[in-house]
Amino acid sequence: MASSFEEKFVLSTDASSYSIGAFLEQKDIDGIFKPISYFSRKLKDAETRYSAYGKEALSVVSPIKNYRNYLYGTEFTVYTDNSAFAATYNNQEPTGRISICINLISESKFNIKHRKGIEKGAADYLPRNPVILCFNEENRLEDGDQALDNIKKKLSGNREANFKEEK
């Protein structure tokens, strides 16, 4: 679905112990929510040691930064399954890493709402299966690529690699 800046955006986010995921959606002309884009990434080593609360904060901040071109200057809603993070953002003054996260996205105008994980669908699935499809697709595309095999051999120090000039 192509996005429309006439309709409000909805961002659903989630985190797991090793990755974060989100999807951006809007209502179509029939009033049915349709996905616009999906986002997921593996957590960096240091991020894997964040608390569940910290990972949920990161799962909100990263996609907002990623979708800045869509979300900047618009009012939108974020759904998270971490009720503590939603409550802190909406009702209290955040501290520590959370305040840094909030400052990073302070140019955005949004509401955070709690939604049980089971109700989030794709947002709940994405962080549990990060980048696997991309990785497998890249491997499939690399299979049988002689030029790439030669480069890999050369870079690994294999003296037998043959580079042929194309004429």
In a domain, 131, yes or no: no
Query: What DSSP state is assigned to residue 131?
Result: S
Q: What is the pLDDT of residue 28?
A: 86
pLDDT tens digits for range 9-51: 999 998 888 889 888 999 888 888 888 888 889 999 999 999 8
pLDDT beyond 50 at 110: yes
Range of the domain at 110: 9-123
Two structure tokens written together for 138? 């890249």
In a domain, 105, yes or no: yes
In a domain, 71, yes or no: yes
pLDDT beyond 60 at 52: yes
In a domain, 161, yes or no: no
In a domain, 153, yes or no: no
Spatial neighbors of 15 by CB under 8 A, at least 6 apart, are 21, 52, 55, 56, 58, 59, 82, 127
Gyration radius from the chain CA atoms: 20
Query: What DSSP state is assigned to residue 163?
Result: -
In a domain, 51, yes or no: yes
Cβ–Cβ < 8 Å for 112, 87: no
Q: For the packed helices 52-66 and 96-104, what is the interaxial angle rounded to 10 degrees?
A: 10
Q: Name the pairing type of β-strands 9-15 and 19-27.
A: antiparallel
Q: Number of folded domains in the chain? A: 1
CATH number at residue 51: 3.30.420.10
In a domain, 47, yes or no: yes
In a domain, 166, yes or no: no
Q: What is the pLDDT of residue 46?
A: 94
pLDDT tens digits for range 96-106: 666 666 666 66
